[in-house]
Structure 1
Amino acid sequence: MSLLKSTSLVLGALCMLATGCISVTFPEPMPYNRKDLTSFPNAWHGIWSSHATGTDDTGEDELLVIFPDRLQGHEGDDLILGKNCVLSKWGRRHVLSIDLDDSNRKMILVAQRRGNHLDVLSFDASQDGALTSWEDVLGNKRVTTLHKNDDPTDKVREVQLNPRSNCQFRKLVKHGSTDLVTYTRVASE
């Protein structure tokens, strides 16, 4: 199983290219010019569960286990800080930039913990008006759509967002089309 596929199962917020979902990528870890963290916050360590619609065909909760230096989902593949992802602090939020297997682009997740809840935002190109809202924030030249087989008449397979600054990235998070999945801490026995 590819890292991209396992990541989508782990986080419930990313789509696999094989399922027809559109990847939304960035040129480098976001936000710009932030120090890479070597571990997840201590308060995030543990097991988290989400019952997001459509994340699991069986209707069962998605589990996410956060260790000091990695994330692990029920498929067992890890996202390891400094190896295949980068974590940065951004105000009260943390931003996880995930390396894609086949390019130098990054998928971005923005997360914030509220007590026993962990809210995870991802950019969702399937939402109505997503491309328009991103173009409104970034301008047409900073939003690139890539099509299957490089054929403009074929389906879109990836949207590349290229914010000029952290200010534009902040506007994308606030006003752009995002998908929210909330995880709840699983009580330890």
Structure 2
Amino acid sequence: MSRFLFIFLAFASIFTTGCVPVTFDEPMPMNRRNLDHFPSSLQGSWASEDDDVMLHIFRDHFSLQESIFLSDSVILRKYKKKFVVSVQLEENKRFWEVFQASLAGDSLTLLTLSWKDEDKKQKIQSILGDRLEIFFDGDIVDSTSFLGRKDSVSQVHASLLNNSEFKELMEHCADTIGTYIRVQTGI
């Protein structure tokens, strides 16, 4: 297993245990420039409100149990007042998983889009319609056929038309990974 895949799986398992991430065609938000560093407003040490997890954000990487550096496969972008980290999947390089960070004073909320809650599944499907691909054990089915399926979803992929759809998905369908409180600035 490659080092990057191990780091990514460790990161993903901490945040999205028990659910399938929704992936995208490209880093989100679309048509925004890549940032080469985390802004000073995000840099520092952050303690989870819910458990003992510490998140450390440095200029060019973040760290949970392992360090994950910004690169061609880990991209940081800004959209409105939010920051989005897009991670290219190791097993399928055309797909990207996204994590959104919202800063409010000394509180940082992390969100991701995953396929687990029935109400959110229906909202995602209503926003994207036939631009949503759902794979069951590797076989793709049309976006209206997922209801009532008992076999396991192996992948969910969204093709967006614009950033308004991304904003709507994140506002109405995203899962909160956690809320973190700043314990130290600029490390």
Contact 1:50–1:181 (Cα < 8 Å) also in 2: yes
Q: TM-score with structure 1 length normalisation?
A: 0.82
Question: 1:182 Cα deviation (Å)?
Answer: 0.7
Instruction: Give the structure 2 partner of residue 28 of structure 1.
Output: 26
Aligned partner letter, 2:11: T
Q: TM-score with structure 2 length normalisation?
A: 0.83
Instruction: Give the structure 2 partner of residue 186 of structure 1.
Output: 183
Asked if 1:80 corresponds to 2:45, the answer is no
Deviations along 1:104-123, whole A, 9 cap, x unmatched? 21111111111111111111
Asked if 1:44 corresponds to 2:42, the answer is yes
Instruction: Give the structure 2 partner of residue 55 of structure 1.
Output: none
- Give the Cα separation in 1 of the matches to 2:161 and 2:140: 27
Identity %: 27
Aligned partner letter, 1:8: A
Number of residue-to-residue matches in the alignment = 172
For 1:119-138, list aligned pairs within 5 A: 119-138=109-128
Question: 1:47 Cα deviation (Å)?
Answer: 1.0
Instruction: Give the structure 1 partner of residue 131 of structure 2.
Output: 142
Task: Note closer, same or farther for the CA distance 1:187–1:68 as it changes in structure 2 (3 Å cut).
Answer: closer
- Give the Cα separation in 1 of the matches to 2:112 and 2:40: 23
Aligned equivalent of 1:176, options 173, 176, 183: 173
- Give the Cα separation in 2 of the matches to 1:151 and 1:111: 31
Question: 1:21 Cα deviation (Å)?
Answer: 2.5
Deviations along 1:84-107, whole A, 9 cap, x unmatched? 310111011111101111112111
Instruction: Give the structure 1 partner of residue 144 of structure 2.
Output: none
Runs of 4+ more than 4 Å apart: none
Aligned partner letter, 1:127: D
Contact 1:133–1:177 (Cα < 8 Å) also in 2: no
- Give the Cα separation in 1 of the matches to 2:154 and 2:29: 24
Instruction: Give the structure 2 partner of residue 4 of structure 1.
Output: 8
Contact 2:74–2:85 (Cα < 8 Å) also in 1: yes
Instruction: Give the structure 2 partner of residue 107 of structure 1.
Output: 97
For 1:82-97, list aligned pairs within 5 A: 82-97=71-86
- Give the Cα separation in 1 of the matches to 2:140 and 2:165: 29
Task: Note closer, same or farther for the CA distance 1:120–1:21 as it changes in structure 2 (3 Å cut).
Answer: same
Contact 1:127–1:177 (Cα < 8 Å) also in 2: no
Question: 1:177 Cα deviation (Å)?
Answer: 4.1
Q: Which runs of 5+ in 1 are unaligned?
A: 53-59
Contact 2:49–2:181 (Cα < 8 Å) also in 1: no
RMSD between aligned residues = 2.1
Question: 1:151 Cα deviation (Å)?
Answer: 8.2
Deviations along 1:42-87, whole A, 9 cap, x unmatched? 12111111144xxxxxxx41111111000111x22x2211243101
Question: 1:173 Cα deviation (Å)?
Answer: 1.4
Instruction: Give the structure 1 partner of residue 162 of structure 2.
Output: 165
